[in-house]
């Protein structure tokens, strides 16, 4: 007698394991979220998405990444929520909720999550105001979740909170590889603080970047332009330039004149950093940097330190912003304790892959010390 062959189950998990309960609880959760005030809606939206993601991963997938089964759950939940609310709960959105929980699941204690998911009372708002682990909007986190490197993702989240970046500003900083550029500007023992605490402007070296990215100026790298035109473009895009400079910068003036020994001198751009409490002077250089340029900046910095700086302010910082430079020339010309820096500027967004390769080389040069 021929033995009957039964089809092999696609998965070992029951096909409809608590899906009805998941849909019911999800609808109740969204209904609760809709009753709250507009001011609270961002926090509640994040907690709602986080909770949905938790239920999918921990309850429906038993905490494991069962891809095929997870897709079926996401599809079913999306259908039920869309039937009730028409929009806002597509399969892509539910999948992002799942990813949101996976990336940030250590942020919220089980107690807080249980109170939010089950009690749905005013007590939730009090707890969230004290323990809310998400300080940005859902749109911000959607952008952050596209970053694979957890250290970089943490850095950009911290900076977006501290600097109150909108989504556009956050995207620009990510696209300009701010994290990688700051890593390359630091000594290896202090770089981990970037992902733990963000960009800390506690000394001159930490407020200067190399390179600066000036793609917003709209200048063609191969086109001919003068230092005067470069300066004018920066002034016309001062808001973007301040964003590129970083926290604490205030604009003082362009072509700021001072007179010494009956001679007149002009500094291209003068800023003040309120965090370091010091002047920051910028001179612009199109073409190759020379030792004369470095000597001129040294004189400018000396003047500001002796005649403009007050006793309670920090030493003046000088930055030569140039197209090309020789690090050997800079090192030979300037004393080791100099507060003057030569930084390249680029007129296009950097290639992130190239910067990451430089980082790996940078690590290898120091006996394989890991920057993470």
Residues 265-284 pLDDT 10s: 999 999 999 999 999 999 99
As a whole number, mean pLDDT of residues 55-81 equals 75
Mean pLDDT of 282-310: 94
Q: What is the pLDDT of residues 346-372, one digit of tens each?
A: 998 887 777 777 777 765 655 444 444
Q: Quick one: pLDDT at residue 116?
A: 77
**What pLDDT does 125 receive?**
64
Calculate mean pLDDT across residues 304-318.
96
The reported pLDDT for the residue numbered 13 is 44
pLDDT per position as a tens digit, 88-147:
889 999 999 999 999 998 888 887 788 777 765 556 666 666 666 788 999 999 999 999
Per-residue pLDDT at 17: 52
Place of tokens 């001011």: 39
pLDDT value of position 191: 60
With tokens 């929009």, the residue in question is: 87
What domains are defined for the chain?
19-131 (no CATH), 136-201+350-372 (no CATH), 212-349 (3.40.1350.10)
Bridge partner list, 321: 284, 343
> What CA–CA distance (Å, rounded) separates 301 from 99?
50
Region of poorest pLDDT, from 6-20, 115-129, 151-165, 231-245:
6-20
* CA–CA separation, 140 and 168 (whole Å): 9
Checking if the pLDDT of 74 tops 50, the result is yes
pLDDT above 90 as % of the chain: 44
Average pLDDT of 225-231? Answer: 93
Instruction: Check pLDDT > 50 for residue 340.
Output: yes
User: Nearest-CA neighbor of 330 among 359, 283, 298, 300?
Assistant: 298
Higher pLDDT, 163 or 17: 163
**Omega within 30 of 0 (cis) for the link into 211:** yes
pLDDT of res. 308: 96
Residue of 279, 347, 292, 289 lying closest to 320 (CA atoms): 289
Least confident range of 26-40, 280-294, 317-331:
26-40
Token representation of residue 275: 């965090």
User: What is residue 345's DSSP assignment?
Assistant: E
Residue 294 has pLDDT above 50, yes or no: yes
Binned at pLDDT 50, 70 and 90, residue 182 comes out as confident
Residue 366 pLDDT: 54
- As a whole number of angstroms, the distance between CA 66 and CA 63 comes to 9
Residues 108, 101: Cα–Cα separation, whole Å: 10
Question: How far is residue 102's CA from residue 54's CA, in Å, rounded to a whole number?
Answer: 8
Instruction: Return the bridge partners of 265, or none.
Output: 258
Tokens of 202: 């506690």
The closest of 295, 297, 292, 294 to 282, measured between CA atoms, is: 297
- Residue 29 binned pLDDT confidence (cut-offs 50, 70, 90): confident
* Average pLDDT over every residue of 299-318: 96
Higher pLDDT, 324 or 9: 324
Q: Which alpha helices (DSSP H) does 2-88 contain, by range?
A: 19-34, 41-54, 67-85
Instruction: Compute φ and ψ for 265, nearest 5 degrees.
Output: -130, 155
Q: Would you say 363 and 370 are in contact if contact means Cβ atoms under 8 Å apart?
A: yes
pLDDT of residue 5: 47
Q: How many CB atoms lie within 10 A of CB 88?
A: 10
The pLDDT value recorded for residue 129 is 66
Tokens of 371: 């920057």
The model's pTM is 0.77
Q: Do the strands 317-324 and 278-288 form a parallel or antiparallel pair, or are they unpaired?
A: parallel
Mean pLDDT computed over 257-270: 93
What is the average pLDDT value for the chain, to the nearest integer? 83
Element counts in the chain: helices (H) and strands (E): 16, 6
Whether pLDDT at 37 is above 90: no
């Amino acid at each position: 007698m021929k033995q009957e062959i039964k089809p092999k189950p696609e998965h070992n998990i029951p096909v409809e394991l608590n899906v009805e309960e998941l849909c019911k609880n999800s609808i109740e959760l969204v209904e609760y979220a809709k009753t709250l005030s507009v001011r609270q809606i961002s926090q509640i939206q994040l907690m709602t998405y986080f909770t949905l993601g938790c239920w999918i991963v921990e309850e429906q997938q038993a905490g494991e990444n069962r891809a095929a089964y997870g897709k079926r759950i996401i599809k079913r939940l999306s259908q039920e929520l869309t039937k009730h609310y028409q929009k806002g709960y597509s399969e892509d959105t539910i999948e992002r909720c799942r990813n949101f929980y996976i990336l940030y699941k250590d942020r919220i204690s089980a107690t807080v999550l249980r109170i939010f998911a089950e009690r749905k009372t005013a007590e939730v708002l009090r707890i969230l105001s004290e323990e809310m682990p998400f300080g940005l909007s859902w749109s911000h986190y959607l952008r952050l979740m596209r970053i694979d490197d957890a250290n970089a993702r943490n850095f950009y989240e911290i900076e977006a909170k501290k600097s109150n970046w909108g989504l556009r500003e956050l995207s620009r900083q990510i696209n300009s590889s701010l994290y990688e550029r700051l890593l390359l500007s630091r000594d290896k023992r202090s770089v981990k603080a970037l992902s733990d605490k963000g960009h800390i402007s506690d000394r001159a070296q930490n407020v200067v970047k190399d390179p600066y990215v000036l793609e917003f100026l709209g200048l063609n790298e191969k086109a001919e332009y003068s230092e005067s035109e470069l300066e004018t473009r920066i002034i016309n895009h001062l808001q973007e330039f301040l964003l590129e400079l970083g926290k604490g910068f205030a604009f003082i003036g362009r072509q700021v004149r001072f007179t010494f020994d009956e001679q007149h001198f002009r500094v291209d751009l003068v800023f003040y950093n309120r965090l370091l409490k010091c002047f920051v002077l910028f001179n612009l250089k199109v073409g190759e940097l020379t030792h004369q340029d470095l000597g001129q900046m040294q004189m400018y910095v000396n003047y500001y330190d002796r005649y403009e700086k007050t006793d309670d302010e920090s030493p003046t910082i000088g930055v030569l912003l140039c197209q090309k430079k020789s690090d050997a020339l800079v090192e030979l010309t300037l004393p080791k304790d100099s507060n003057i820096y030569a930084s390249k500027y680029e007129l296009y967004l950097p290639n992130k892959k190239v910067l990451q390769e430089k980082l790996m080389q940078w690590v290898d040069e120091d006996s394989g010390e890991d920057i993470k």
